[in-house]
A and B are shown apart, each in its own frame.
Chain A
């Protein structure tokens, strides 16, 4: 980090802070969802298949990171910025869309307690089968792998372009540690985590990164350099909140008209 130039230092601090925050919050949401399934397997079947499934999924994810890292380093910076920017726009807008629809009451909120109950119910029905242990391990493996792939993508996407993979990984590891600590203490699904609010924030952040990097990939010199991410983020957040407010208002109008 260059300390001499205040503008550059501010820009670096902004990049590091936004990278760590985006990776931490997005990973936190994903780890909470994976934890629910692993906990259901551990409590319903036994901890052996839960831990084996989790360990195998973690190994596959580690292999994925080791494979993708060197491949991405071969791509020229502008092409990489553009490609990752496009993927981030698609990924972020998907999260943001769902978060807006949930926040405005159009879609129901994600319920970890319900997901836990459904998984527990399924595992209990499978308990009599000879392959029950295998199926339980498979459930843990699939949950950790599917949620983990999103974490890997987020870490690589927000970290690679500006050489911030280490900071993004630290954010994801911090989220993993926090979910494990809270999970060990409460020993039940983390249903009180404000998952939709987190998804809303992450959707705004990831989409902002996507627009910023796609622009940079096209050759745009954003005013204020990395600080422009904050401006894009503010516009996106404000716009999304206005849409939520409009949808809530129109919902109550429809309700009153009936």
Chain B
């Protein structure tokens, strides 16, 4: 059971390091998919939105990590 739990956590760890980054990325993909499939957004625009969204999520994640590391080292 412990081995299985360890294997599962390692598997999840392949894709998730910063939980917020993973959640934001999944929400972005879900929103873009809904816009393309339900709201009639051209798929190419969906792809472009995905790229811009990923850049924004990445920037937010590294800036947040930097702020928290600096706050921790200032204490």
Chain A interfacial positions (CB closer than 8 Å to B): 86-87, 89-91, 93-94, 96-98, 100-101, 104, 106-107, 146, 149-150, 153, 207, 211-212, 214-216, 218-223, 232, 235-236, 239-240, 243, 247, 250, 254
Question: B50-71 toward A: CB 8 Å interface, digit per residue (1/0)?
Answer: 1100110111011101100110
Q: With A215-B46, A235-B55 given, name 5 new contacts (CB 8 A).
A: A93-B54, A96-B58, A97-B62, A107-B65, A216-B47
> Does B65 lie within 8 Å of A97, measured CB to CB?
yes
> Does B50 lie within 8 Å of A214, measured CB to CB?
yes
Residues of A within 8 A of B11 (CB): 149
> Does B25 lie within 8 Å of A93, measured CB to CB?
yes
Q: Once the chains are docked, how many angstroms separate the CA of A218 from the CA of B46?
A: 8
Contact flag A106-B65 (CB < 8 Å), given A94-B16, A97-B21, A153-B14 = yes
Contact flag A243-B15 (CB < 8 Å), given A93-B57, A215-B43, A221-B43 = no
> Does B69 lie within 8 Å of A211, measured CB to CB?
no
> Does B17 lie within 8 Å of A104, measured CB to CB?
no
- Give the number of residue pairs across the A-B interface with Cβ within 8 Å: 105
Classify chain B's interface size.
20 to 34
Main secondary structure on A side of the interface with B: helix
Residues of A within 8 A of B44 (CB): 215, 220-223
Report, nearest first, the 5 A-B pairs whose CB atoms are least far apart.
A215-B47, A220-B43, A219-B43, A220-B47, A90-B15
Residues of B within 8 A of A96 (CB): 58
Quick one: which of A150, A207, A219 contacts B36, CB cutoff 8 A? A219
> Does A91 lie within 8 Å of B15, measured CB to CB?
yes
> Does B18 lie within 8 Å of A97, measured CB to CB?
yes
Residues of B within 8 A of A90 (CB): 15-16, 22, 25-26
Q: Once the chains are docked, how many angstroms separate the CA of A101 from the CA of B58?
A: 11
In the assembled complex, 15 residue pairs joining A and B whose CB atoms fall closer than 8 Å, in A order, are: A86-B26, A90-B22, A97-B18, A100-B58, A101-B62, A106-B65, A107-B69, A149-B11, A150-B14, A211-B47, A211-B50, A215-B47, A218-B33, A218-B43, A220-B46
